[in-house]
């Protein structure tokens, strides 16, 4: 019964949030952000704990795997474009990852975060299903990692497009790549709305980032933190 | 009516193909102990199948586009999980948020700038090369 209630609640809030996002375009109306806030609020006031929400969560996220696999479609459709700019893509993804990871580690040290928190910071740009897998290998704090990944995705989805325009990054390829590298799936969902090229490149960048990070972090982690 | 049922049937078959590829990716990771997540293998696998013509784009396009349109939805139930670490986020939330925002902005700008300048540089070289030929 609670599971049914949770699913119904999540779906209706999502539909409502999409409707709001279509009507008022603002970082605060980003559907993932808005839905999360409203759902947590409604679960708390109707006395449903997260443990009771988990069966509903499992059902609703079942398609996340196939949806991630479906990213091959925009990559395939834009394969000529990706082949044309592959050099730029590799440079951009590597530089984006190195700067975001190192700035997070340095700031984390300055603010005296624990090793557990800094570990979570290093995988924050990787899509959720992949980040939690890396976290498990490294004995990290899974809920904390998921929170960092999701907040990072929301930051990218909410402010990414405006920030890129502010810094005169106008090329659709560069815009999609930047958002996909830093803000993984949540950013990609937003990039898809901006244009097909942006969406495809973001999807491809997200995949490449996931592969690069899952290779580098498990081996490099003892060296860095 | 018949048309709609046909469409729904087609959609379900497409969905099953995508789920199948995802499961194959997961099994490959398990069997070969790959250090890469199953979804990443799935992306590569589907891309190869499309490139080799084993799967035609029309055979999965409808389901794939529907899934991608609602990609954000699948993150919502996971993100609701943040309610379990509420106390940590309340205590240290602002400093976490500060680090996440600053490092995300630095990453976004440098990735975008780097990509754009490489593209511009390459295109400029091509123009120069063409001038030279002419």
* Cα-to-chain-centroid distance, residue B28: 19
| Minimum CA–CA partner of B43 in chain A | A69
Question: How many CB atoms are closer than 10 A to CB A8?
Answer: 11
Average pLDDT on B20-47 reads 88
* Least confidently predicted of A114-123, B50-59, B125-134: B125-134
Domain ranges of chain B: 1-73, 81-134
Residues 35-74 of chain A with CB under 8 A from chain B are: 35-36, 39-40, 43-44, 50, 53, 56-57, 60-61, 63-74
pLDDT at B3: 85
Q: Which two tokens stand for residue B4?
A: 């709609």
**Does the CB of B18 have a partner CB in chain A at under 8 Å?**
yes
Q: Identify the pLDDT of residue B98.
A: 95
**What's residue B36's pLDDT?**
72
**What's the pLDDT at A56?**
93
Q: How is residue B104 written in tokens?
A: 């995300």
pLDDT in tens, B88-102: 777 788 899 999 999
At residue B9 the predicted structure's pLDDT band, cuts being 50, 70 and 90, is very high
Place of tokens 């951009």: A92
pLDDT for position A17:
93
Give pLDDT tens digits along chain A (225 positions): 889 999 999 999 999 999 998 888 777 888 888 999 999 999 999 999 989 999 999 999 899 889 988 988 888 888 888 888 989 999 999 999 999 999 999 999 999 998 889 999 998 888 887 787 788 778 888 888 888 998 999 999 999 999 999 999 999 999 999 999 999 888 988 898 898 889 889 988 988 888 788 778 777 776 666
Q: Does B100 touch chain A (CB under 8 A)?
A: yes
- In this prediction the ipTM stands at 0.85
Supply the pLDDT for residue B66: 92
Distance from CA of A69 to the nearest CA of B (A): 5
| CA torsion through residues A94, A96, A97, A101, sign | positive
d(CA B76, CA A56): 12
* C-alpha angle A65-B89-A215 in degrees, rounded to nearest 5: 40
* pLDDT at B131 exceeding the cut of 60: no
Summarize the confidence of residues B106-133 as an average pLDDT: 83
- Chain B touched by A115 (CB under 8 Å): no
Residue B129: per-residue pLDDT: 61
Contacts of residues B8-16 at CB distance under 8 Å and 24 or more positions apart, as own/partner, are B10/B62, B11/B62, B11/B63, B11/B66, B14/B59, B14/B60, B14/B61, B14/B62, B14/B63, B14/B64, B15/A66, B15/B63
Residue A182 and residue B111 in contact, taking contact as beta carbons nearer than 8 Å: yes
Q: Does A206 touch chain B (CB under 8 A)?
A: no
A103–B114 C-beta distance less than 8 A: no
- Sign of the Cα torsion B59, B62, B68, B72 reads negative
Query: pLDDT tens for residues B65-89?
Result: 999 888 889 889 988 988 888 777 7
Contacts of B40 in chain A (CB under 8 A): 130, 207, 210-211, 214
Mean pLDDT taken over chain B: 88
Q: How far apart (Å, rounded) are the C-alpha atoms in residues B128 and A174?
A: 22
CA end-to-end span of chain A? 46
CB nearest to A210's CB, from B22, B40, B57: B40
The helices-and-strands tally (H runs, E runs) of chain A is 12, 0
Place of tokens 């996002």: A21
Query: A39 CA to chain B: closest CA distance, Å?
Result: 7
Say what the pLDDT of residue A190 is: 87
Does the beta-carbon distance from A73 to B57 stay under 8 Å? yes
A88 CB within 8 Å of a chain B CB:
yes
B111:A65 CB<8 A: no
């Amino acid at each position: 019964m609670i599971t049914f209630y949770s699913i119904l609640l999540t779906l209706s809030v999502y539909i409502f949030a999409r409707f709001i996002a279509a009507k008022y375009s603002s970082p605060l109306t980003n559907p993932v952000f808005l839905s999360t806030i409203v759902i947590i609020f409604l679960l708390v006031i109707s006395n449903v704990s997260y443990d009771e929400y988990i069966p509903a969560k499992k059902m609703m996220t079942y398609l996340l795997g196939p949806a991630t696999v479906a990213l091959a479609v925009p990559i395939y459709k834009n394969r000529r474009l990706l082949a044309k700019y592959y050099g730029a893509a590799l440079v951009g993804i590597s530089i984006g990852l190195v700067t975001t990871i190192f700035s997070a580690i340095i700031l984390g040290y300055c603010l005296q975060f624990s090793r557990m928190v800094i570990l979570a910071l290093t995988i924050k740009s990787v899509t959720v299903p992949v980040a939690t897998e890396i976290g498990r290998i490294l004995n990290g704090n899974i809920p904390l990692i998921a929170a960092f990944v999701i907040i990072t995705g929301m930051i990218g989805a909410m402010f990414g497009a405006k920030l890129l325009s502010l810094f005169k990054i106008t090329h659709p390829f560069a815009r999609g790549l930047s958002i996909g590298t830093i803000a993984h799936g949540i950013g990609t969902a937003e990039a898809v709305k901006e244009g097909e090229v942006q969406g495809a490149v973001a999807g491809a960048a997200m995949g490449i980032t996931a592969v690069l990070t899952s290779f580098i972090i498990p081996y490099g982690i003892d060296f860095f933190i | 009516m018949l048309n709609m049922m046909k469409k729904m049937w087609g959609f379900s078959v497409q969905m099953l193909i995508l789920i199948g590829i995802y499961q194959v990716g997961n099994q490959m990771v398990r069997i070969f102990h790959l250090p890469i997540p199953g979804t990443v293998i799935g992306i590569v696998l589907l891309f190869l199948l499309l490139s080799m013509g084993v799967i035609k784009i029309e055979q999965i396009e409808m389901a794939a586009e529907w899934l991608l349109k609602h990609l954000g939805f699948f993150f919502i139930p996971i993100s609701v999980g943040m309610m379990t670490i509420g106390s940590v986020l309340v205590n240290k939330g602002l400093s976490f948020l500060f680090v996440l925002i600053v490092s995300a902005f630095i990453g976004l700008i440098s990735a975008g700038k780097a990509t754009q300048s490489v593209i511009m540089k390459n295109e400029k070289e091509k123009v120069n090369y063409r001038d030279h030929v002419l």
